[in-house]
Amino acid sequence: MFVYPQTYRKLKRGPQVILPKDIGIIIAYSGADKNSVCVDAGTGSGWLAVGLARVCKEVYSYDIRSDFLAIAQKNKDMLGLDNLILKNGDVKKKIDEKEVDLVTLDMPESEKALKNVKKALKIGGRVVSYIPHTEQVKKYVQTLEKLKFSDTHVVEVMVREMMVRKEGTRPSTKGIWHTAYLVFAVKQ
């Protein structure tokens, strides 16, 4: 089984990964399921791509860097995910797939991919972008509005650990406070 944190410790890490906390919320809030066809970009180490491939029908994951795709290929192979297709390419220039259910974006200036995303999504399809800084969140949201996406929803996910020990029960002293904002929207 693929479980946190055991399996994640075995996965290869190259570029900054998307953590399970964000993968979980992307799945639950986007409605990704066994029937979903997804486009993902950039692949990076492929953590989100494999997380989606484990619950979705097909995932097409793009990256402009072939060295990153090589890392993701190892994670794909380790988990035996034949429904994950890794592609060397730039979604800001072109997305081959049509009528997809979900597009996930983790890249600088992800708003520049939104025109192509809109063409790739079916009506009612959803796009999620993973954005660390507030300035890009704003630019991205403004582009969503210009392109008539609906139901824009921005969240940040915090998972706090509790320790249950002989001396008592308490939250962990330190932990992760921020990875990125998740911006959800729907194609009308």
Q: Which of 12, 13, 15, 55 binds a second copy (CB under 8 A)?
A: 55
Please answer whether residues 118 and 16 qualify as being in contact, where contact means their C-beta atoms are separated by less than 8 angstroms: no
Please identify, among the stretches 67-75, 85-93, 110-118, 121-129, the one whose residues bind a second copy according to the rule CB under 8 A: 121-129
94 near a second copy, rule: CB under 8 A: no
In what helix (H) or strand (E) does residue 116 lie, and over which residues does it extend? helix 114-120
Please identify, among the stretches 59-67, 69-77, 91-99, 126-134, the one whose residues bind a second copy according to the rule CB under 8 A: 126-134
Q: Which of 20, 42, 44, 46 binds a second copy (CB under 8 A)?
A: 20
Q: HSE on the CB side for 38, CA within 13 Å? A: 36
User: Under rule CB under 8 A, how many of the chain's residues touch a second copy?
Assistant: 67
Please answer whether residues 113 and 144 qualify as being in contact, where contact means their C-beta atoms are separated by less than 8 angstroms: no
Nearer Cβ to a second copy, position 73 or 152? 152
DSSP-derived 3-state class of residue 60 = strand
Please answer whether residues 120 and 130 qualify as being in contact, where contact means their C-beta atoms are separated by less than 8 angstroms: no
What type of residue is 98?
A: K
What type of residue is 1?
A: M
Please identify, among the stretches 4-12, 64-72, 88-96, 111-119, the one whose residues bind a second copy according to the rule CB under 8 A: 4-12
178 near a second copy, rule: CB under 8 A: yes
